[in-house]
Amino acid sequence: MVSPFAFSVAFRILGDEETAKDIVQESLITVWKKLKKIRSSDSFKTWIYRIVVNKCYDQMRKMKREPGFRPDEQAWSVISNHISENPVSELENGETARIINLLTEKLSPRQKTVFVLSDLEEMTPDEVSAITGMSKRNVKANLYYARKNISSMINKYV
C-alpha cells in the first residue's frame, strides 16, 4: 500500500525507474526501523513521504549531471504529439521520466520537489510544507519559480 505512492514520488523526482525502486526499498526499511516513533495514524502518510523525499534529496546530491546535457528534440516532439492528441493517452514510465527531466532540467532540487508534490501529486501547500520542512511561504515561492521556469521551457520548445 505504501510502495505505489512512494514509487510515484521518487520516480517523478529522480526520473529513473531503478533508482526510484531503490529509494522505495530503502524507505520501507527505514519505516520498519522507525515505526515506534509514529505518534498517530494521521501523520503516517506525511511521515513516509518525508522519508522518501529526504532519500531523494540524498540521491540527487550523489547523482552527477551528465556533461553537455541538452534538451532532447525527440522528447519535445513526444510532448507535442501527446498535447495534440484527443483524448490524451497516458505515457509510459520512460516517456514520463524523459518529459519530467526535460521540464525540470533547470530547477533546483527543492523547486523540483515542490513542483512534483504540488502539481503532479496534487498535494496542498500545507501537506508539501509538512513533508519538506519548508514554510508555506517558501513552498509557494519555490512553486512559483518552478512553474515560471517550466512554462518558459514549454513555450520555447513546444
CB of 68 to other proteins, least distance (A): 25
Cell triple for 135: 514554510
Which one, 69 or 148, has the nearer CB to other proteins? 148
Q: Does 68 bind other proteins (CB under 8 A)?
A: no
C-alpha–C-alpha distance, residues 104 and 147, integer Å:
9
Looking at residues 128 to 147 of the shown chain, list those that interact with other proteins (rule: CB under 8 A): 129, 132-135, 147
Query: How many residues sit in the footprint of other proteins (CB under 8 A)?
Result: 45
CB of 88 to other proteins, least distance (A): 5
Binder of other proteins out of 32, 65, 67, 74 (CB under 8 A): 32
Q: Does 66 bind other proteins (CB under 8 A)?
A: no
Closest Cα to residue 112, out of 21, 10, 29, 18? 10
Binder of other proteins out of 19, 20, 117, 149 (CB under 8 A): 20
C-alpha–C-alpha distance, residues 35 and 153, integer Å:
42
Q: Where are the alpha helices (DSSP H) in the chain?
A: 2-14, 17-33, 44-62, 73-84, 93-103, 109-115, 125-132, 136-157
C-alpha–C-alpha distance, residues 71 and 51, integer Å:
31
Which one, 38 or 158, has the nearer CB to other proteins? 158
**Residue 113 half-sphere exposure toward CB, CA atoms < 13 A:** 25
Q: Does 14 bind other proteins (CB under 8 A)?
A: no
Kindly list the residues in this chain that would bind other proteins in the complex (CB under 8 A): 3-4, 7-8, 11-12, 17, 20-21, 24-25, 28-29, 32, 50, 54, 57-58, 79, 82-83, 88, 90-93, 95-96, 99-100, 103, 119-120, 122, 129, 132-135, 147, 150-151, 154-155, 158
